[in-house]
Amino acid sequence: MKIAAIIGSTRRDSYNYKIAQHIQKRYIHQFDLEILNIGELPFYNQDTENSPSPEVVTFKQKVADADAVLWVTPEYNATIPGVLKNAIDWLSRVNQVMIGKPSWIIGASMGALGTVKAQAHLRDILFAPGLSSPVLPGNEVVIGHVHHKLDDNGNLVDEGTVSFLDKVTENMVTWIEQQQTTVNH
């Protein structure tokens, strides 16, 4: 199984990026997780959507080739960061590579409830016609106080979060397989 991870932060020491790396390493025997780079994408412009830059072409192809997309995002000003919305707008046009592709949403923030609003907005955005991506029902992963849950090397060490992610990941893998069965029959 191949999963494409899209991180809503391009910050060098992003906590959300570290959570994605945890998932990449811990479940390496269950799926191949590739973390995509959205920081190099140009601003979406309808004038260029039919002849986009090589970064856009590669990005969309990697999403098209994945069995599912994992979104790991912070919350900026009560919604998703602009860099993430830009990437989503590219995905929603011309070859609409998200249509029918399962999505899995995770968010981490330094506050207690951070990313709740961003995650709700992201679910709503993924419901738009150009995206039409089914989102794993339930299994909401809001990682609050994330800076207390990583060690100095950026490893996720909070046992409760690690075991919760184990359970949700198991649910996600089962659900993606069910989605594929539904699509193939």
Residues forming contacts to ligand FNR in the complex (CB under 6 A) are 9, 11, 14-16, 74-78, 109-111, 114
Smallest distance, ligand FNR to C-beta of residue 74, A: 3
User: Residue 171, Cβ neighbours under 10 Å: how many?
Assistant: 15
Residue 55, Ramachandran bin (φ over 0: left; ψ between -120 and 50: alpha; else beta) = alpha
- Minimum Å gap between C-beta 48 and ligand FNR is 27
CB proximity list for 68: less than 8 A, separation 6 or greater: 1, 3, 4, 101, 102, 103, 104, 172, 176, 179
CB of 77 to ligand FNR, least distance (A): 5
Nearer to ligand FNR, 33 or 97 (CB): 33
Nearer to ligand FNR, 42 or 111 (CB): 111
Pair 139, 168: CB distance under 8 Å:
yes
Task: Read off the tokens for 28.
Answer: 């390496």
97 vs 142 by CB, closer to ligand FNR: 142
Span between the terminal Cα atoms of the chain, in Å: 19
Instruction: Report the nearest approach of ligand FNR to the CB of residue 91 (Å).
Output: 20
Among residues 78 and 99, whose Cβ is nearest to ligand FNR?
78
